[in-house]
Each structure stands twice: as C-alpha cells, then as structure tokens.
Amino acid sequence: MLDNLPRGTIVIEDIEVGMMRYLQKVVTDRDIEMFAEVSTDHNPVHLDDDYARDTIFEGRIAHGMLTAGLISAVIGEQLPGHGTVYMGQTLKFLAPVRPGDMVRAEVEVTGIDIAKRRVQLDCRCLVNGKKVLVGEATVLAPSRKFD
C-alpha cells in the first residue's frame, strides 16, 4: 500500500466513469504576461492592445496554451491528482479567452483501464457557459499497489 499519496489524490482503484472535477480562474493581464515570459511567446495579439484591436479577435486574448494549462491543473491537482503522469492530450480551440474572463476548466472520466492504470478524460474549458476549448487526455493514474 502506498501511504505517501497526498490527500485528495484519487487512485486508479477508486476512479469511476463519470467522475468530474473542475476549477475556476479569472485570467488576468499578469497571467498573460507571465505566460508570455515563461513560454517566450510574445505575440502582440496577447500583449499589445493597439495591435490586437486590428486582428480578427478585435482585442487582446490569452494564449491558448495558458487556457489548456488549467486542464493540466485539474488533472495534476484533483483528478486523479498528485502522482498522475500525462500520456497524451488533444485540444481544439473554439473561442478566445480574454483578460478578465472567468474560465471553468472541467475534466470528466470517460474510460478506465485498471490493469494498465490508464484513464481517459474528456476535457473542456468554458467562459460564461460557452465552450472555448475541448479535448481528450490519457493519463497514468497513481495506484495503491506497487508495480
């Protein structure tokens, strides 16, 4: 038995299809600036109001991968939680996220392979109830048993 799993981690043996977890976060100018710094993506559509006004977005938008990172946070912190290993992720960006938007990132279990410790997850991000990002993830979940 693994006694060192952090509180809140859900092990493969306890995961069920249909389980869902989420987080909500307001995307701030500071978040966008920090993401640009860390990722080295300084595209002016994210950082320059004057430039972004003249684009198809008609204003600044958050990096798509910043929004996708919220899905990673739900997976790594809640479902399954600490000890989870990402194996793959698909993403489709449906609408922009703007500074000041409240993003709700949701992850829902759609499949489980206990023998391989793999979990399939439906992933989505919403702003005001509208999907802005959808995708699927496959993760390796922590287990109570040693391999």
pLDDT of 26 over the 80 cut: yes
CA gap 141, 80 in Å, rounded: 6
pLDDT of residue 5: 61
Share of the chain above pLDDT 90, in %: 91
What pLDDT score does 65 carry?
98
For Cα atoms 23, 67, 75, give the angle at the middle one, nearest 5 degrees: 45
Closest listed residue to residue 86, CA positions, set 68, 59, 66, 104? 68
pLDDT in tens, 32-42: 999 999 999 99
* pLDDT (0 to 100) of residue 1: 40
Q: Tell me which amino acid residue 58 is.
A: E
Under the banding of pLDDT at 50, 70 and 90, the label for residue 6 is low
Domain 16-140, CATH number (from 1.10.540.10, 3.10.129.10, 3.40.980.10, 3.40.309.10): 3.10.129.10
- The pLDDT value recorded for residue 145 is 79
- The domain ranges of the chain are 16-140
